[in-house]
Structures are given as C-alpha cells and as structure tokens.
Amino acid sequence: MEYYLSDKEFMHAAIQGKYLTAEQVARCKQSQKNAPKHKDKMLHELALYHNLMSVEQLDRLYKETRKKNKALAIGNYEIKSILGEGGLGVVYLAKQLSMKRNVALKVLYRKWVQDEEFRKRFLLEARIVGKLSHTNLIQVFDIGYDKGHYYFSMEYVPGSTLEQIINKDDYIPLEKAMDHTLQLLDALNYIWKKNLVHRDIKPSNIIINKEQIAKLGDFGFVKSKMDEQLVQNDDFVLGTPDYMSPEQAMGKNDLDYRSDIYSLGATFYHMITGSAPYDGSESVIIRQHIKAAIPSPLSIRGSIPPGVCQIIEKMMAKEPQDRYQSYENLKRDLVLVKEGSSPKAERLDINKSTIARQDFFGLPAQIYKLEEEIKRLKYREIYYQILIVILCSTLVIILLLAG
C-alpha cells in the first residue's frame, strides 16, 4: 500500500473511525468539485483546510489504517507518522529499512508531480541541501522516485520548532534567543559562502533539539546562482510575508545574503517578543515591510535591552546597504550585547530610507498599482453592464414605438 490514502479509503476510514461525519465528508467532496483552487487537492487535505480534522487526528488515522493493513511505504522507507506539511510537500517520520534508522521523509504533493516548475523546485532543494554539511543545517541523505512520487530523506531531529515553542511559552528568553540566533547565523554564513540564499527563514523552519542546537531546514525557496538555469521562473514563490525582506516583498530576483539577514532579524524579533514584527492581512504586512518602521521590541516587552533593539533595527533596515554587511560584524554585535556591552552598529533613521520614501506606484512589485488596476477593471465592468442595460432599454423602447 502506498504512503497515502486514496479519497475512497480516506472517506471510509474517517467515517468508520468517527473522525468525520458523512456530512463533513460531503462538504469536502463538494469543495473539491466546485472550487477551482481545490480540484487537485486530496480529501484529507481539504479536511485539514476546512479545520474538520487536525494534523494529529490525521496522523492517528494513518496509524490505525497501517495496523489494519500492511505498512505504508514508499521506496526503502516505512512511514510512521506525519511530522508536518510545507509549500511543496508533506514530511513524514519514516524508517529507512536498509539502514534501520529514523529519517524525515519529504514527499512532493501529488498535485505538483505533473507541474514541471514545482517538480524542479523540489528536486533543486534536495540536490542543493544534499551537498551541504553543517551542525545547524538539517542533512539530506537520499533522493528518489517511487510509485509516481518524488521524495527525499533527511536527518530526523527530535525536538520542537521555534514556532511551537513560542506558541507554548509565549516567547523565548533573551539568552536562549540570542544563542539560537548565533547558531543560525553560523549556518547562514556557511550557505552564503556557497552562493546560496535561503529566502524563507522563519520560526516554523527551525527545529531546536534536546541539546538546544538550532537546525535550519526547508530550502524549498532557496536561491542558487549555480542553479538559476534549473528554475527559470522565480515569481511563483516569495517566501513567508511575516519575515520577508522589503526587496523580496517587491518581487526582486537579485536577492543576496542581506535579505536573509533581514529575515533572521524578523525571526529574532518574534522569538524575544512573542509576535511577528507586523500584523494584518498578507498584503498589509507586505506593505509594512516595505514602508513602515518596525514597532520597537521594547513596546512589547519592556525588559529587552536597548542594544538588542539596535541590532534588530539594523538587521531589518529597509535598504540592504543599511543592514549588516558582513557575518563578522553582526556576530560581533550579538556577542557584545550578550556579554552586556553595547553594539558598535550605528542607529538608523527610517526617514532616510529611499525604499520607505518611494511612491508605491514606482515599486517593482507595483502593489498599489495592481490594486488600482483591479479597481479600474471592476469599474469598467460595471460601466459596460450599465451601458448594455441602457442599450437594451433603448432597443425595447424603439421596438415598442415601431409596433
């Protein structure tokens, strides 16, 4: 049996196990049938999407099904449970049968298998990360294809993501947060030397193990100068709005390590305050990354030292040239503040940022211009509808008069 349940098997198992009612299953099927964006989704994905089931419940359903049937497997791996889901695929806890060890197995979503762009992106992630080896990076072991599914196996790291820790404890104590940030900075410096930019640094992509070692994973959005020819169109992914740099938010393709510094700063901010720098809808957050000064961490948690705020302000400067320009200088300031000294970085003035002072109509991403264009199209549609009504009414009057 393959690692997933078909829609028919899922319906039977979910109803029989009383995870879903027949009405809830019908709702998922209706959504799958009528909503264009859901037509390629499996029923279990829609159950999660509509909050009818939790990942934990789906995990339990898989386990129960495996006991009743033969083990769920793909390639040389026996699936044990679901660890999480990302933009490109689902990650399972699996046992590598040949090595008799637990691994994290990332499997490309079925809906993306036939999409060349996403398939290339998935394989690019495996190929690039497979060449990396660092204490603070999740190691890739193997890549393969089986029964119509692309997958790669990775180091399994027992622990919790930063996101899970923050959700549980509200925030991360400053000393721990600085330790995590320094470790992540070491990992990023390693990949920057390989001409790579991660582009999706965020709490959910960082695992902290029992020894308090931070591990950065999920290179699905990685930007490689060596592999630009593999993925020709980068416009379909940007990263996560809560942590993306202004240049990333504006759709620029020539990102460098300073974009990662911004995202690391936003992640550091979230760790010590318990909340992301900006709040609102995705479009609002994107605009704020481009134009708005970050709320001072002190306004959220008054015990945060001013030196830490100063470091975050520089990491999250709107202009790349105003951020830290080297790994060494950023690490120097983090260590200084950790030891109770002041950072050497100069304070920044948001009003001096040329990005922040740009008129939105001139932005490469053309956020406001796009919104205005949509409004114009709507008004044009309304205008044509009114015009048609007037013409039809006029025609009816003419016919009546002629009769």
Active site amino acids? 200
Contact present, 370 and 251 (Cβ < 8 Å): no
Contact present, 44 and 10 (Cβ < 8 Å): yes
Q: Exposure of 58 by Cβ count < 10 A (0-12 exposed, 13-18 middle, 19+ buried)? A: buried
Which residues are CB-contacts of 169 (< 8 A; sequence separation ≥ 6)? none
Which residues are CB-contacts of 138 (< 8 A; sequence separation ≥ 6)? 104, 129, 154, 155, 157, 207, 215, 216, 217
Q: Shortest CA distance to 124 belongs to which of 152, 155, 94?
A: 152
Which residues are CB-contacts of 76 (< 8 A; sequence separation ≥ 6)? 96, 97, 98, 142, 144
Which residues are CB-contacts of 143 (< 8 A; sequence separation ≥ 6)? 123, 126, 127, 130, 151, 152, 153
For residue 81, report the phi and psi dihedrals to the nearest 5 degrees.
-165, 170
Sheet strands (E) in 11-148 = 73-74, 77-85, 89-96, 101-108, 140-146
Contact present, 329 and 310 (Cβ < 8 Å): no
Q: What is the DSSP string of 46-78?
A: HHHHTTSS-HHHHHHHHHHHHHHSSPPEETTEE
Contact present, 122 and 108 (Cβ < 8 Å): yes
CA 321 remoteness from chain centre? 25
Q: How far apart are CA 222 and CA 216, in angstroms?
A: 12
Angle 6-153-45 (CA atoms, 0-180°, nearest 5)?
30
In DSSP terms, which residues pair with 91 in a beta bridge? 84, 106
